[in-house]
Amino acid sequence: MSTSTAVIGGSGYLGGELLRLLSTHPEFALTAVVSSSRSGEPLEAIWPNLPGNRLVTRSDSQELNVDLAFLAGPAGEAMKQVPALLDAGTKVVDLGPDYRLRDPEAYARAYGQPHLDAGHLAEAVYGLPELSRDAVRGARLVANPGCYPTATLLALAPLLRAGEIKGPVIVDAKSGTSGAGASLTSGTHHPEAALTVQPYGTPTHRHVPEMQAAITALTGTSLSLVFVPHLVPLVRGILCSIYPALADAADPAGWPALYESTYGTSPFVHVGATPRLSWTQGTNLCFLSLQRAGDAPVLFSALDNLGKGGAAQAIQNANLMFGLDESTGLRQPGFGV
């Protein structure tokens, strides 16, 4: 029996990617789409890449009566909707930031608004499946990680858990313009973003508290993180160049074995050659590479910010929540060029 599924926030880029992936998912049956800005329109009018899908969007999430809901709205929206959804027996994957930080004061500092559902923060599972599969399987509320944290944490986790690195860790991250969302802003307007590279998010990007909280959960200790993102003239993709400081007893020669033991059976994390963003586009794949720059180690991490950094990872989490193979509906290969 298929799982009735809703997408709340169906007119943004993450919502559109969810709809694209769900259109071929063998178990999750899309029965409702909510869009406050495009309510009453058939999906094929909002997303012409889904021809023939005449499901009409709703204006709100009241009385959805579904087994699974993906929330793809901006900060502050999910926490208004999650309590009612959970009370109705719906399992929830939130692609926004509302449940990624357990500390409501940290959330308020990062997002400039108070948290309205602090009671569910402790219950929410931070859904990075490669590092928390068992917790995700038992969850009814999953906080889908941000795109930058996914790329950064997957690269660093084996070394952090083994005590191989210390702070400061420098993360030089580059992202395509779709990471800014579908609403037009002056910085992501094509004449401003094309033919240039723009650093932004300094001195502290919103995702830094999320990454630091996840690192503390992984290691039990805090870590100094220097994170500088850049907007590049691409639509999709994230590439992180990461420069860790070695712990006193670090043994870089043993690092390949650490990554093999962590990700050797993971269908979506691959360790090997220097990655290209084209390999990741439209997929749930993350490519990692361990290299050296002179005598210093450097890690590369690449993924699709709308895929493994967003919608595809959300479906991977939902697969685990409903007892499916985590790769169900997510076996698309990336592009070669």
The active-site residue out of 121, 142, 147, 299 is 147
CB contact set of 174 (below 8 Å; sequence gap of 6+): 197, 229, 230, 231, 232, 238, 239, 240
Structural contact between residues 174 and 197, judged by C-beta atoms closer than 8 angstroms: yes
What span, in angstroms and rounded, lies between the C-alpha atoms of 86 and 318? 15
What span, in angstroms and rounded, lies between the C-alpha atoms of 52 and 45? 10
What distances in angstroms separate CA 201 from CA 12, 72, 102, 283, one per listed residue? 22, 22, 22, 26
What span, in angstroms and rounded, lies between the C-alpha atoms of 298 and 313? 25
Residue 280: Cβ-neighbour burial (10 angstroms; 0-12, 13-18, 19+): buried
Q: Is 147 a catalytic residue?
A: yes
Structural contact between residues 157 and 218, judged by C-beta atoms closer than 8 angstroms: yes
What span, in angstroms and rounded, lies between the C-alpha atoms of 325 and 331? 11
Structural contact between residues 61 and 81, judged by C-beta atoms closer than 8 angstroms: yes
CA atoms within 13 A on the CB side of 153: 28
Question: What would the DSSP string read from start to end of 173-231?
Answer: EEE-GGGG-SS--TTTSHHHHTT--EE-S-S--THHHHHHHHHHHHHSS---EEEEEEE
What distances in angstroms separate CA 137 from CA 23, 322, 325, 327, one per listed residue? 23, 7, 11, 14
Active-site residues: which are they?
147
